[in-house]
Amino acid sequence: MDAPVSVEVAKHALLAAGLILAIGTAAGLLARQLRIPDIALFLIAGIVVGPQAFGLIDLEAGSPLYQILLLFGASYILFDGGAALRLDVLKRIWITIAVIATVGVLITAAITGAAAHLLLGAPWLVAMLLGAVLAPTDPATLIPIFRQMHVRERLAQMLTCESAFNDPTAAIVTFAVLRVAMGIGEFSFSSSLLIMLQQAVVGIIAGLVLGYLAALLIAHERWGFLLEYAPLVTLMAVIGAYFAADGVQASGFMAVFVFGIVLGNKDAFGFKMSLAEQQRLDQFVTTTAFIMRLFIFTLLGTQVDFRLINLYLVPGVAVVAIFMAVARPVAVFCCALPDRRARWSRNELLFMCWTRQTGVIPAALSGILLGVKAPGAQLIASVTFIAILMTILIQAPTARWLAGKLDLLEDHK
């Protein structure tokens, strides 16, 4: 008797998961030998096993399983990145973070949009929509890079925070331009700014509250009755922080990131864990975050559509080159150089210019535009895939080399 369709779907999903784990483990070991970020090899592996090559894994981007992995994986990686940050460092660089995560996004979107208009011949609204989609740096990409490459602490933390905080800005700009492009509204700078501030502030508050509550339940001398279940608390709290913020129209990713900052700095709030318990929690978080990025970037590779890329390959590469070599440096020097408190060195600024990978968030935004049949959606998706491939396969593997040349690496034995 034939098995029910649901069982066949479950078997297919389980087989895909097993293949991703096996291929990802091999790619991770190879990346360690080559001393390059593993996400680059995960992406290549995904392309190889995806429908564009051997067809071993063919998971639709719109399927519930793909969306669950993407949503939870990106959230947990953000939590992991937030937990690695230190409040004493953030106090010295918060001005740069605030400016580059807002004004920097607008500068990047404007320059990239202008390049798309000139080189691709796209209408201004479509070009600006493309610029907004590409503007955010990707925390799911940057956080694991800094896990594997020890640059100066404040530099790594600035870039990590930027990648978390600029997502709401880019999303709001994208949807504001989308409303105009689809003829369902008018762009209002003041209302867009108000929405952005609301999403950010409420997301931060949700992260602070849930982060403090989690620290209380796992590390308080009297109330820490969930200490034994600390790893599970991180899983529950990441999901809870995301949906608590999302339920009140705030940034779920912002909430998860701030939750990680609070839990990672629980000592500053008077909570302490024994060394053995802290190591157990750290090992769980590190392993889970590795599995999540393995799945995210392998699956992202399976979604790369070379037929779509070929539609706008040459001008698309030119636009992404300007995006990388012009838009990013202008944004960095305009937003970070004036911060006299941080006093960024020339070498640090140069490293910031090169370190801005494109990944999950832009891919998700371009997928939404395809889903709603936005004007120029295919063009935007094509150039987004090009940007993902170029930044992850060119910038990510060369980041360690550049940091060494600029004397920004720290010794970690």
Quick one: fold of 67-405?
Answer: Na+/H+ antiporter like fold (1.20.1530)
Rounded to an integer, what distance in angstroms lies between the CA atom of residue 287 and that of residue 292?
9
> What does the pLDDT average to over 159-182?
82
pLDDT tens digits, one per residue of 29-45: 998 888 788 888 888 89
pLDDT at 67 over 90: no
Task: Count the alpha carbons within 13 Å of 187 in the hemisphere toward its beta carbon.
Answer: 14
> What does the pLDDT average to over 142-146?
82
pLDDT at 3: 61
Please state the domain extents for the chain: 67-405
> What does the pLDDT average to over 145-169?
85
**b vs e for 106-139, b when ≥16 Cβ sit within 10 Å of the residue's Cβ?**
bbbbbbbbbbbbebbebeebbbbbbbbbbbbbbb
Task: Indicate whether this model's pTM tops 0.75.
Answer: yes
Band of residue 189 on the pLDDT scale cut at 50, 70, 90: low
pLDDT at 2 over 60: no
pLDDT at 300: 83
Band of residue 315 on the pLDDT scale cut at 50, 70, 90: very high
pLDDT at 174 over 60: yes
Rounded to an integer, what distance in angstroms lies between the CA atom of residue 117 and that of residue 123?
6
pLDDT at 287 over 50: yes
pLDDT tens digits, one per residue of 229-255: 888 888 888 888 888 887 877 778 888
Rounded to an integer, what distance in angstroms lies between the CA atom of residue 164 and that of residue 388?
17
